[in-house]
Chains A and B, each alone.
Chain A
Amino acid sequence: MSALTVTQLSAHIKGLLDQDALLRDVWVEGEASNCKEAVSGHWYFTLKDPGASLSCVMWKGQAALQSHLPEDGRAFQMHGVVSAYPAQGKYQLMVDQIEPLGQGDLHREFERIKAKLDAEGLFDPARKRRLPPYPRRIGLVTSPGAAALQDVLKVLGRRWPVAELFLAPTLVQGDAAPLQIVAALQAIGRAGVDVVLLIRGGGSLEDLWAFNDERVARAIVDCPVPVVSGVGHEIDFSIADFVADLRAPTPSAAAELATPDAWELRQRVDGLRALLDRQLGDRLSLAADGLDALRHRLDRCAPERGLAERRRGLAELGARLERAVQGDLRLRRSGAAGLAQRLASLSPQAVLTRGYAHVQRLRDGRTVASTKDVGAAEGLTITVADGRIAAVTTGQARLF
């Protein structure tokens, strides 16, 4: 009997494995255990079931592409290549894909529902409704205890605190969730809000599965007001996202997209107010300038100015008049000399000089022209040409 060497036998086994089509592209289902991430970054673990166990390795490069990593005690479906390692005398599954058990089914179901609803035109962009720019009432459909709701309330409080908020509470994962979400959407649709935020924080495909439910999708379509979906993280796309009027990458983003920024609006209102003030200021300045111009013109016509002019005019006239009078006077003076002489001869002085006297009563200065003007012992003042004499009557007799 010819014996093979260990090496030869091992090589033979390896060859068999390497040629087998199934082993080069196989899906295996089992429970993971002894999961270890080496310093190198490679993962080493065991997949087992009650009857057998399988040694596994996942290289660092492949591990980086996975959404799930091996976990002790958890069931997985894994894809890879089975190969033998002669040096260690063992065979191993080199894993390039890890799915938690059932995941493969979920993906297929997702694609099925997506295709069905798409064919009905429910994803049509033309279907999507415009969001109200200034929503007065905002509806929230989510779990009341979840962090996602707190995030949304914070954003709404910061951006658009004026809106009234209404919460329709619901489970957001598990088998009971889809029907509750449907009921919540129907209730919020009747509540008279302007927009609905359908939100849920991040999670696995299983966690978010309720939002891929066909019944939830139809409830979103039937909702009388626009629905904004904010489910999971940026990379998660759910059926709800496709039928919603607007898809937000996260719950907080849903709150941002549904509301205007009150701060920015305040700035704009203040800006318009400033424009108003400036416009009026300009108009009033213009009017004031016009008024000043009119006032100047008015001043020029004012009576005070006229009076001064008249005064000037009068003074001039006065001067002219004086000149004229002076001239006239010289003329008259020469004629006056002759008149003066004639006047002098008729004066009382000339009469007195001829010997006549002017007699007056002492008591009241009355001129005595008749005997009747004096009584007995009447005081008299006699004026002669060069002075006065005091006298008293001693008697009288009428002659004429």
Chain B
Amino acid sequence: MSDIPADAPLDFEAAYATLEESVRRLESGTLNLDEAMTEYERGVALSSRCSQLLEAAEQRVSQIVVGGPQPIPGDPGE
């Protein structure tokens, strides 16, 4: 879990849901110490991943090419 590549698809929803599940399992008290340590490590990796996914990136706007009539220069807009 700690070796998720940085360019992996942003699936924040899945990562967050799995993180919640890790916490629930630890809270359940049904894990032995070994299992608890493993679950903890998994949870930490997930929380780091989630934080990483939320990092502010520089805002870029890609302009896509629209088929059909082109906008007239100096259009009134609003």
Which of A's residues lie within 8 Å of B, judged by CB?
Answer: 133-134, 136, 140, 143-148, 153, 156-157, 161-162, 164-174, 176, 179-180, 182-184, 186-188, 191, 200-203, 262, 265-266, 268-270, 272-273, 275-276, 279-280, 283, 287
Partner of B64, one of A174, A191, A200, A203: A191
Question: Would you call B40 and A279 a contact (CB within 8 A)?
Answer: yes
Partner of B65, one of A153, A187, A270, A287: A187
Within 8 Å CB of B62, what residues of A? Answer: 164-167
Partner of A266, one of B51, B60, B63: B51
Question: Would you call A164 and B36 a contact (CB within 8 A)?
Answer: no
A275 to B33, CA, bound (A): 17
Residue count of chain B within 8 Å CB distance of chain A: 42
A146 and B61 in contact, given A162-B54, A179-B69, A273-B44 (Cβ under 8 angstroms) = no
A187 to B20, CA, bound (A): 38
Partner of A180, one of B16, B65, B68: B68
A161 and B56 in contact, given A143-B77, A145-B77, A148-B78 (Cβ under 8 angstroms) = yes
* B68 CB to nearest A CB, Å: 4
A188 to B64, CA, bound (A): 8
Question: Would you call B19 and A269 a contact (CB within 8 A)?
Answer: yes
A266 and B54 in contact, given A145-B77, A280-B36 (Cβ under 8 angstroms) = yes
Within 8 Å CB of B56, what residues of A? Answer: 161-162, 262
Partner of B76, one of A136, A174, A202: A174
* B76 CB to nearest A CB, Å: 6
Question: Would you call B66 and A169 a contact (CB within 8 A)?
Answer: yes
A156 to B57, CA, bound (A): 11
In B14-34, the 8 Å CB interface with A consists of 16, 19-20, 22-23, 26-27, 33
Question: Would you call B61 and A134 a contact (CB within 8 A)?
Answer: no
In B46-78, the 8 Å CB interface with A consists of 47, 50-51, 53-57, 59-69, 71-72, 75-78
Interface CB pairs A-B, < 8 A, 11: A134-B13, A153-B61, A162-B55, A174-B75, A266-B51, A268-B16, A273-B44, A279-B26, A279-B36, A280-B26, A280-B36
Within 8 Å CB of A275, what residues of B? Answer: 23, 26-27
A140 to B66, CA, bound (A): 12
A134 to B14, CA, bound (A): 10
* A291 CB to nearest B CB, Å: 11
A203 and B78 in contact, given A133-B13, A169-B66, A187-B65 (Cβ under 8 angstroms) = yes
A162 to B11, CA, bound (A): 12
Question: Would you call B57 and A183 a contact (CB within 8 A)?
Answer: no
Question: Would you call B26 and A172 a contact (CB within 8 A)?
Answer: no
Question: Would you call A172 and B77 a contact (CB within 8 A)?
Answer: yes
Partner of A280, one of B9, B40, B64: B40
Give A139's nearest chain B residue, CB to CB: B64
* B67 CB to nearest A CB, Å: 6
* A288 CB to nearest B CB, Å: 11
Question: Would you call B76 and A164 a contact (CB within 8 A)?
Answer: no
Question: Would you call A265 and B64 a contact (CB within 8 A)?
Answer: no
